[in-house]
Amino acid sequence: MTIKTYEPLQGIPLIVSSIALSIAILLTVLDYSIANVATPYIAGSLAVTVDQGTFVITAFAVGNAIVLPITGWLTKRIGLVQLVFFSLIGFALFSFICGSSFTLPMLVISRFFQGLASGALIPTSQSLMVLIFSEEKRAKALAIWSTIVIIGPILGPILGGWIAYDFGWPWIFYLNIPLAIFSALIVKTILSSHETERERPKADWIGLILLVIAVISLQFSLDTGQEYDWFRSRIIRATIPISFIAFTYLFVWEWYTKECCLEVRLLKIKTYAISILTVGVNYTIYFGSLILIPLWVQQDMGYTPLQAGLAIAPIGILPLAFSWTMEKFCKKAGCFTPLLLGNLLLSFSCFVTAYMNTDASFWWIAFTRLLFGGGIALFVVPIFTLCLMDLPKEKYPSGTGLFHFVQAITGGIGTAVFTTLWIRRSAFHHANIVSTILPTNQPANEYYRILERIGTSAEQLQFFINDVASRQASVLGLNDAFFLMGWIFFAMIPIIIVAKRKKKHAKTHPLSSDSTTT
């Protein structure tokens, strides 16, 4: 892919284009999570179980994950601006079909195609945001972009719960249509001068088939693993090895194939490889933490979906407040220093959260999310900057596509792993707690007699004890999960330190005109 000579946008065209691209990004990241809390409403409306309703989420994730890594190949075939335009139009069209669906199969299929249509929007919008800004302002563009990527998954559950409850679940899809069309028109009219040269690369059918098999098998395993009891199920024992083998063959094939749809050879660039490793590990934990706290407060603390969303909303405050200054910090200190500090703060915030108990107030939960958001603020802009640092401009769509593919896949893995860990550790703690208050235990016997004296039945006693044990076990399981998260963040620090030392003779920062030491 080659890029035509062009002048950076200025004034109103730059502002309007930035708004349009920001909307494109926001719509995509919102749709990852906006349907999550609306699943019970969708299931009830379509007369299916909630478990069946979760395929609405899976279908979108599969479609998205298939397109993300081949964005570079699609850009060569279609052109960068045209790809963004057609993606937005397709997203609007399938959003309408999603909202109009009257059966579950119709909704699942349309969600899959909605995911396919929007899959290229995140990497291509990032590439365009970088290209339309001048050299000295590109880091600010990246700061805007990265802030939206963080805010989207937080706003999703809040908006999804509110819209589904007050207006009906179809409106979580209809809301996309006017915004996507507006963004598409702006991209088509203003950004045509930034179109890339079209090429005719050969279709890598083997790579595409392997990618589809790997993604579908993995996503199915992640979404249904807990329901089928993971490796005790023959289905999961089949799909996980299939996914692993397909990903292995895919990596080897794409590494040695000249006309590849997935440019894994970009991993030869050290800064890019480090960004892939770091974002993979950190996003595994980020999405795990993003799902556990809302689940816990709704299940055991009596929060509504809206209250749960508001409790975790402070996670976005510091990234939003400091994204504008992070690019200056990156220029002065390099990318690795804020990454180091960010992982330290993320680790500390996880350890603080690991001491949560059932007396935790709304404001304490919000404070722990604010603390976690401080680590995210130090992490997001540097990691996206590091991704593009030594990447040739013509490789932006391919590099960002692979980067966001890893981000999406590891986010799904984190959700599945930490949800399963929480459930199983909660069951372990529940068994231990109940064993200490059985009637055969003398202090417990005395406790039973006291309650019986005040007229409590055996059934009420059992219900009361089980409820208390379940709530305590649930928070202990949550603590175990966050302890593990904290140690994983902490384990990343030596890797970042080693990478920083190897990169201390870096030349020029690609997002600024000044030379900088990273």
- Residue 515 pairs with which residues in a beta bridge? 508
CA distance 297 to 292: 9
414 and 362 in a common domain: yes
Q: Domain boundary at 179, 202, 225, which?
A: 202
Tens digit of pLDDT for each residue in 187-241?
A: 888 887 777 777 776 777 888 888 889 888 888 888 778 777 788 888 888 989 9
How many domains does the chain divide into? 3
State residue 515's pLDDT score: 35
Q: Domain boundary at 260, 284, 306, which?
A: 260
99 and 191 in a common domain: yes
State residue 94's pLDDT score: 93
Both tokens of residue 404? Answer: 């966001």
Residue 3 burial by Cβ neighbours in a 10 Å radius (0-12, 13-18, 19+): middle
The separation between CA 151 and the C-alpha centre of its own chain, rounded to angstroms, equals: 11
* Cα first-last separation, the chain: 28
- Tell me, what CATH number does 355's domain have? 1.20.1250.20
275, 335 Cβ separation under 8 angstroms? no
What is the number of residues in the chain?
Answer: 518
State residue 510's pLDDT score: 42
State residue 350's pLDDT score: 93
State residue 512's pLDDT score: 39
117 and 213 in a common domain: no
282 and 230 in a common domain: no
Residue from 251, 242, 250, 248 nearest 221 by CA: 242
Our CA angle for 254, 258, 261, nearest 5°, is: 50
Tens digit of pLDDT for each residue in 483-513?
A: 999 999 999 988 888 877 766 544 444 443 3
304 and 235 in a common domain: no
- Verdict on whether the full-model pTM lies above 0.85: no
State residue 455's pLDDT score: 60
Q: Which residues of the chain have pLDDT under 70?
A: 1-8, 36-37, 49-54, 138-139, 201, 305, 437-462, 502-518
160 and 75 in a common domain: yes
Instruction: Report the SS3 class of residue 310.
Output: helix
State residue 36's pLDDT score: 67
Residue 316 burial by Cβ neighbours in a 10 Å radius (0-12, 13-18, 19+): buried
197 and 328 in a common domain: no
163 and 287 in a common domain: no
Both tokens of residue 146? Answer: 């990265």
- Domain of 160 in residue numbering reads as 1-202
Q: Domain boundary at 202, 223, 243, which?
A: 202
Q: What is the residue whose two structure tokens read 């009257």?
A: 102
157 and 18 in a common domain: yes
218 and 188 in a common domain: no
245 and 135 in a common domain: no
98 and 113 in a common domain: yes
420, 428 Cβ separation under 8 angstroms? no
Instruction: Report the SS3 class of residue 44.
Output: helix
Q: What is the residue whose two structure tokens read 């994983």?
A: 488
The torsion angles phi and psi of 508, rounded to 5 degrees, stand at -115, 135
CA distance 319 to 142: 13
